[in-house]
Amino acid sequence: MRVIGVMSGSSLDGLDLAFCSFQKEGENVNWSLDGTLAIPYPNSLRRRLGNPDSLDEAGLNKLDHDFGIFVANSLISWIGETGFQVDLIASHGHTLFHRPEKGLTLQVGDGKVIYESTGIKVVNDFRSGDVKLGGQGAPLVPAGDHDLFPGFDAYLNLGGITNISFFDQGDFNEAFDIGPFNQVVNHYSRLLGSDFDHGGEFGSKGHVEQMILEKWNSLNYYKQPGPKSLGREWVEEIFLPSTGGVDPYSSIATFYQHMAEQIQNVLSKKKEKGRVLVTGGGAKNHYFLDLLKGKSEWDFIVPEQRVIDFKEAIIFAYLGFLRVRGERNIFAAATGASKDSIGGIIHGK
């Protein structure tokens, strides 16, 4: 099956598209990554996605529709340019709200609009079914980690949020969000005139503020057992206000120290050493990776750039593939739901 995975991350970098082919026989999956494309958001759309609290119900519905049109037009243009023959579109959408403790998760990007515009079957809304089963609706990547990237003890994603999946001799063990990442780094980078911190350059110029580091390290979230997950709301309401008047360079430097410590805490509780695959935009942050490696006995493996940049889009393509096959694609052990489930709503025959 030929599937385009569509991912919009919480760091608001843009739309990631991954064209994949999948074949599955029993437990064996053969797959290929046949094309990728990253599309930056127009400023007007980025502002709307980044400020959902300002929207009423009608505004949210319009954004759901408009973002669906943006996704559809992006796909139509790419498919037209490449000539790809596509069987399925698997769209994560963009998360506006994620408060599973209140039974709420909302990803915009109307799947029906995407289907009607493209004429291609669509799977979207992967998270809400798990939340209805009492789960966190996250993380959803373990099924893809296990089947598409075998051979690692852990999978660390440094995206808008830092999340991790653990496996023990090939069997799923647990997964959860460790803390924020690019949501925080990009926030302070924008104060310095850039959308992100290229290679950790900004962080390397700052110094660690011990008082802020201690505040962040003492946040209650880190004491909670998994399964657990984070949303934009926690970052904006709990995490970012802690820095007060600290300059952006030192805020980033302190954050890098904080996340390196939190990641190492998580890894060391699992076992002394192992192999971890590192993906997401933070995998290109050489300064942070060097800091992390200096704190741990684990081997941090960075894959080819396309996998770094598009792993989540690849995995959601795979989750959509599993959905139309009627196969489990969400692990209750990862999300805390009452049972495993087949996540996603299908639009089209």
> For 72-89, how does the pLDDT look when each residue is reduced to its tens digit (9 = 90+)?
999 999 999 999 999 999
Q: Looking at the predicted structure, is the pLDDT value of residue 11 above 80?
A: no
Give the model's pLDDT for residue 301. Answer: 97
Domain membership of residue 131 as a residue range: 2-136+315-347
- Whether residue 143 lies inside any domain: the answer is no
Q: What is the pTM of this model?
A: 0.88
Three-state secondary structure readout of the chain: CEEEEEEECCCCCCEEEEEEEEEEECCEEEEEEEEEEEECCCHHHHHHHHCHHHCCHHHHHHHHHHHHHHHHHHHHHHHHHHCCCCCEEEEEEEEEEEEHHHCEEEEECCHHHHHHHHCCCEEECCCHHHHHCCCCCCCCCHHHHHHHCCCCCEEEEECCEEEEEEEECCEEEEEEEEEECHHHHHHHHHHCCCCCCHHHHHHHHCCCCHHHHHHHHCCHHHHCCCCCCCCHHHHHHHHHHHHCCCCHHHHHHHHHHHHHHHHHHHHHHHCCCCEEEEECHHHHCHHHHHHHHCCCCCEEECCCHHHHHHHHHHHHHHHHHHHHHCCCCECHHHHCCCCCECCCEEECC
| 223 and 103 share one domain | no
Output the domain CATH number for residue 85.
Answer: 3.30.420.40
pLDDT score of 170 more than 90: no
Same domain, 230 and 107: no
pLDDT recorded at residue 213: 97
Mark whether 62 and 105 lie in a shared domain.
yes
Q: Is residue 100 part of a domain?
A: yes
The number of domains in the chain is 2
pLDDT, position 290: 97
- Across the range 303-332, mean pLDDT stands at 95
So what's the pLDDT on residue 115? 98
**145 in a structural domain:** no
Confidence class of residue 245 from pLDDT cuts 50, 70 and 90?
confident
pLDDT 10s digits, 187-197: 999 999 999 99
> Are both 18 and 85 inside the same structural domain?
yes
Query: Do residue 243 and residue 128 come from a single domain?
Result: no
Residue 40 covered by a domain:
yes
Place of tokens 């980078």: 189
pLDDT tens, residue by residue, 248-285: 999 999 999 999 999 999 999 999 999 999 998 999 99
215/90 same-domain check: no
User: Per the domain annotation, does 309 fall within a domain?
Assistant: no
Question: Do 199 and 288 fall within a single domain?
Answer: yes
Query: Would the pLDDT of 24 be above 90?
Result: yes
- Looking at residue 222, its pLDDT comes to 96
pLDDT mean over 296-311: 94
307 falls within a domain: no
Predicted local confidence at residue 26, as pLDDT? 84
Residue appearing with tokens 């998580």: 266
Q: Is the pLDDT of residue 244 over 80?
A: no
**184 with 120, same domain?**
no
pLDDT at 172: 86
| pLDDT at residue 169, as a whole number | 80
Residue 141 covered by a domain: no
Residue 232 has pLDDT above 80, yes or no: yes
- In this prediction, residue 12 carries a pLDDT of 84
Task: Please state, rounded to an integer, the average pLDDT across all residues of the chain.
Answer: 94
- Determine, yes or no, domain membership for 287: yes
**β-strand partners of 165:** 155, 175
Q: Same domain for 167 and 101?
A: no
pLDDT in tens, 132-164: 999 999 989 988 998 999 999 999 999 999 999
Kindly state whether residues 130 and 47 are assigned to the same domain: yes
Pair (212, 79) in one structural domain: no
> Is 241 in the same domain as 282?
yes
